[in-house]
Amino acid sequence: MPLEIRELVIKVEIDEATQKHDGDDRQRYEELKKEIMKECMKKIESKLENLFTR
């Protein structure tokens, strides 16, 4: 059974005034991106589990 995701809402708030501008910005960006993707995948898996348990 194919699964179609019609809507995925991600809300992010960035406050540039409090950010440190180090040489590690790129690494921190990658870490944050991975965290966001992991959280999205958890939510999708949870929705799928609920769908299949019905």
Sign of torsion over alpha carbons 37, 49, 2, 5: negative
Spatial CA neighbour of 12 closest among 49, 51, 40, 44: 40
One digit per residue, pLDDT tens: the chain, 54 residues?
677 777 777 777 776 665 555 667 778 888 898 998 898 889 888 888 888 776
pLDDT at 24: 72
pLDDT at 20: 59
Instruction: Give the pair of three-digit tokens for residue 7.
Output: 């809507």
pLDDT at 50: 85
The overall pTM is greater than 0.95: no
pLDDT at 7: 79
For residues 40 and 10, is the Cβ–Cβ distance under 8 A? yes
pLDDT at 52: 78
